[in-house]
Structure 1
Amino acid sequence: MECIEIYTGGDGQSQFRQIEAFEVGPVSFKGVAVSLSSPQACESVLLHEFDSDYFLGWHNPPSKQYVFVLAGVLEIDLGNSVAAQRFAAGAVFLAGDLHGKGHTTRAIEAGRALVVNLRG
């Protein structure tokens, strides 16, 4: 599955890049063929509900975290020459810019997201 990763570049600025996450392979489960990824350990899972006026100023995530947008639209801005990216329902991104300037998060439409904090 492709998703966008937010990471800290060598200059301390956050950057976007496309990555392949959750590589899946065929598995037989009780005689039914399905595609599954290998499990990934996580620290916590949170449901984040946000109003349309939600804005979180410059910040870094506490640990790497997958954000699965379930409803609404979030906009991530890196504050540099790169255009802000919007993530609507069904989108997944990996917030991994643990140090440096960080990013801002703004709700374009109210909604909810599932936030999975990874270990390590």
Structure 2
Amino acid sequence: MKCIELYTGHDGHSSFRTVHTFEASPVIFNGVAVSLSAPQPCESVLVHEFDADYVLGWHNPPCRQYVVVLEGELEITVQGSDAAQRFAAGAIFIAGDMNGTGHTTRAIRSGRALVVNLRG
């Protein structure tokens, strides 16, 4: 599955890139053919609820995180040519820019996101 990742480049600025994560393989589960990915370890899971006027200024995540947008829409902004990307309900992105200039987060529409903390 393709996923957008925020990462810190060699210049110390956050950027976006497309990565492949959660590669699924066909398996038989309780007699039914499905595709499953390998399990991913995580430290904690939380639900983040945000209003339509939610804005979080320049910041870095405390650890690598999967963010699954359940409702609403978020806009993530970085410095430079990548500028901003929007993530609507159903989108998954990885916040992995734990150092450097970081990114901003702004709600376009109110909603909820599932945040999975991956400490390694």
Shared fold, TM over 0.5? yes
* Alpha-carbon shift at residue 83 of structure 1 (Å): 2.7
Matched, 1:5 2:19: no
* Alpha-carbon shift at residue 36 of structure 1 (Å): 0.4
2:94 partner amino acid = L
1:17 partner amino acid = R
Matched, 1:37 2:37: yes
Matched, 1:118 2:118: yes
Number of aligned pairs? 120
Q: Which runs of 5+ in 2 are unaligned?
A: none
Question: How big is the alpha-carbon RMSD for the aligned residues of Structure 1 and Structure 2?
Answer: 0.7
Q: Deviations over 1:8-37 (max 9, x none)?
A: 000100010001110100111111111000
Within 5 Å, give how 1:47-62 maps onto structure 2.
47-62=47-62
Matched, 1:68 2:46: no
Normalised TM-score (structure 2): 0.97
Normalised TM-score (structure 1): 0.97
Q: After the TM superposition, which parts of structure 1 deviate over 3 Å for at least 4 consecutive aligned residues? A: none
Percent identity over the alignment? 71
Residue 105 of structure 1: SS of its match in structure 2?
A: strand
Show the counterpart of 1:23: 23
